[in-house]
Amino acid sequence: MTETLSDALSRAAGADHLLIALDFDGTLAPFTEDPADSRPLPEAREALDALAGLPRTTVAIISGRPLEFLREVVDPARRMVLSGSHGAEMDLAALPDLPDDAEHDIHLTAEQLDLLDRAVDATEEMVSRYPGSRAELKPAGVCFHTRPIRDPRVSEQALEEMNRAYSELQGLRITPGQQVVECSVLSATKGDGLRIIQAAASPDVTVFAGDDVTDEDAMDLLTGEDLGIKVGEKESVATQRVSGPQELADVLSVFADQRARAVTSIK
């Protein structure tokens, strides 16, 4: 860990009320060929569990994954605030002063359902033409995955074609990712997710870590004493960077200890 990251973490650990919000894939969990197989690294899980048990400390996951997946795989004990489907689904039930609108479920109009059907058809058609690729269905969208395609040129071509096909369907929000392109009939972003969590939890300091372009919508909201940590090499407005999920897990372990010490000394 660099000295500047270590200093920044020590400062954040001393916040009166801390929000630590994290992306899932490529941040807490290393990439896997089948999205159903990804799990947080054990050290990261342990650190998040420790942080979630501390006073004046809110742990949040803000992910492109459906809320249901986050509940089952990341937070079965239901101690974290969750935002799924890139900010379109919210579960704030872990907050002590529960807001009335703690859960934001997705309700699609008939037009949105029709658009989603057409996006799914286009994805399945693409999957039939690119062996190895797969579709992942979500409550308001669908992903086209190419990680299992061995030839990077074929993978790139498949992603471009899928992007074009989604662009022809008016009204979809198209999001590029790591060997994936996904679309949604809703326009929410991770920035919307973080904004809702900050409004409900009122933290003095927010720490956010993420690896991908969609995480920048949340990074953009960080101000003042907040801390943004980019995972990996993609461009970012974050002031700090780690090499990958394992280094982030190590950082989270140190941070959980720092925060535990700090909360015992905050009056």
Ligand X SMILES: O=P(O)(O)OC[C@H]1O[C@H](O[C@H]2O[C@H](CO)[C@@H](O)[C@H](O)[C@H]2O)[C@H](O)[C@@H](O)[C@@H]1O
Residues near ligand X (CB under 6 A) are: 23-26, 31-33, 35, 38, 63-65, 136, 143, 145, 147, 177-180, 182, 212, 214
Task: Go through 85-104 and write b for each residue having 16 or more CB atoms within 10 A of its CB, e for each that does not.
Answer: bbbbbbbbebbeeeeeeeeb
13 or 136: whose CB is closer to ligand X? 136
**Which of 6, 178 has the CB closer to ligand X?**
178
Contact in structure between 212 and 177 (CB atoms under 8 Å): yes
Identity of the residue, 8 or 82, whose beta carbon is nearer to ligand X in the bound complex: 82
- How many Å apart are CA 251 and CA 50, to the nearest integer? 13
CB of 179 to ligand X, least distance (A): 4
Q: Whose CB is nearest to ligand X?
A: 64
Provide the token pair at 13: 């650990």
Give Cα 231 distance to the centre of its chain. Answer: 12
User: What is the nearest approach in angstroms of ligand X to the Cβ of residue 26?
Assistant: 5
Between 63 and 198, name the residue whose CB sits nearer to ligand X.
Answer: 63
Provide, rounded to whole angstroms, the least separation between the CB of residue 257 and ligand X. 25
Q: How far is the CB of 214 from ligand X (least distance, A)?
A: 6
Cα 65 from Cα 211, distance rounded (Å): 14
**Whole-number minimum distance, CB 167 to ligand X, in Å?**
19
Cα angle, residue 171 at apex, residues 169 and 172 outer, rounded to 5°: 75
State the virtual CA torsion across 224, 193, 209, 23 in degrees, nearest 10: 180
SS percent in the chain: helix, strand, coil, step 5: 40, 20, 40
What per-residue string of b and e applies to 148-171 under the rule 16 or more CB within 10 Å gives b? Answer: ebeeeeebeebbebbeebbeebee
CB 44 within 8 A of CB 248: yes
Shortest spacing between CB 186 and ligand X, in angstroms:
13
Smaller CB separation from ligand X, 214 or 240: 214
Residue with Cβ nearer ligand X (198 or 214): 214
